[in-house]
Structure 1
């Protein structure tokens, strides 16, 4: 296994990093993906959050974990949506004292070669440290491979809608390839989350903005999945738009995002 360049690792051995992978029928992708993650970030732990995949993804994850102490598995009884799975990863990282959390899709659409850039950006290696770094398709140098025109239009439209409704300034609000400062995630009352589907990604950024997070975006090239089938459909899109609308109302009403009694920045 190739060890990453020392500049991509944390300067503090206590600043542990967790990579979360939410899986449902990703048996073809998972072994190769975890190997690639550790090729580009040898020091990170990986948590596989599996929703009882019928194709045996959970069993494969268990086997990988039995041979590598950096790999962990969280089994859930049934498919409950990408938002619920991602939240489970947040809580797992908070409870175990991780310093950074990186969330990635488990289908190689988020290539691990981008991990060093995300980690450098959030620690301030190339500038000021921030709290959330987005692997962005919509900044200079970023892009998408494998999409048709309709999906491009839908993605751009949802991002414009989210910026308008939620007061976000970042360009890519719907992608899930991100690095978070776990201490900021811990400030948020996640029991208030509305979205459990694909609007969850926009909601996370909205709630992070409300607790004063600093943001950065680094370019990535998004690759349409190599194996398996996409989980997004028109029903998911409609639900996402409705969830963003409800969050926009919350934004106008300044509905709290922290635990009761804590001050929320404007």
Structure 2
């Protein structure tokens, strides 16, 4: 099941769901709508009425990307799905490339469609926005000590066991930092993350939900996680040194 969160995506939803259903006819789609005022939820209901492979969850307010994904993932787990994915509704993630992620899941616990591994690319982004994104991912790698090159990417597939092992109920991230949080938790659980190159295309219709405030909040959260991890590393090293000196 692929979870597609929506807020004011009336111009894109039917188009992207049709592409996804054509690209992967056996894959179910779960639209999680945050009470969009533009009627996205009604469009989703119409798609579900016409296609048994499309499901809809209606949330009562705009609660953030991470909150929508947590809701969708919990529903998919309860319904017994073994592979659970995530994808944007605006067309930036191309459903025709989902097969690349499915193939890579054969020997991974989490697969990320990556813009920044060799072969990956970004189309129609201003250079300034791409530099900001690349810089943010470099910051994540340095601060959290992980090797994933596109930890902020939102085109992903999880194994059921991955979401169960990282304890989805304990995840509190609600905004875009959710993506980085899930990567870090997966790696900290000793699981395998693979990145496959994709072509990311900037949306043609509607407005991006990313803003300066959202990006700043994400960086604050990541900084806190990184400092906490460094503190814990120092404490572990001190305990190990103390134990060896007594041995």
Alignment of 1:154-173 (within 5 A): 154-173=132-151
In the alignment, what sits opposite 2:39? 56
Alignment of 1:193-232 (within 5 A): 193-232=171-210
In the alignment, what sits opposite 2:121? 143
Tell me: CA distance 1:225–1:182, structure 2 relative to 1, closer, same or farther (3 Å): same
Which runs of 5 or more structure 1 residues have no equivalent in the other structure? Answer: 1-17, 124-128, 256-266
- Tell me the TM-score normalised to structure 1 length: 0.84
In the alignment, what sits opposite 1:132? 110
Max radius of gyration: which structure?
2
Partners of 1:91 and 1:253 in 2: CA distance:
32
Alignment of 1:234-245 (within 5 A): 234-245=212-223
Which residue, out of 37, 55, 78, partners 1:95?
A: 78
Alignment of 1:9-158 (within 5 A): 18-123=1-106, 129-158=107-136
- Tell me the TM-score normalised to structure 2 length: 0.91
TM-superposed deviation, 1:190: 3.1
CA contact (8 A) 1:195 1:243 kept: no
The root-mean-square deviation of aligned C-alpha atoms, in Å, is 1.4
Partners of 2:191 and 2:214 in 1: CA distance:
28
Partners of 1:115 and 1:171 in 2: CA distance:
19
Partners of 1:87 and 1:138 in 2: CA distance:
25
Q: Which SS does the other structure have where 1:173 is aligned?
A: coil
Give per-residue Cα distances to partners, 1:30-85, cap 9 Å, x unaligned. 11111111111110110000000011000010011011111100000000001101
CA contact (8 A) 1:94 1:183 kept: no
CA contact (8 A) 1:144 1:222 kept: yes
Partners of 2:219 and 2:45 in 1: CA distance:
36
TM-superposed deviation, 1:250: 3.8
Aligned residues: 233
CA contact (8 A) 2:186 2:193 kept: no
Give per-residue Cα distances to partners, 1:82-102, cap 9 Å, x unaligned. 110111111111111111011
More helix per residue: 2
Partners of 1:83 and 1:253 in 2: CA distance:
26
Partners of 2:86 and 2:17 in 1: CA distance:
13
CA contact (8 A) 1:25 1:56 kept: yes
Q: Which SS does the other structure have where 2:165 is aligned?
A: coil
TM-superposed deviation, 1:254: 5.4
CA contact (8 A) 2:20 2:95 kept: yes
CA contact (8 A) 1:20 1:103 kept: yes
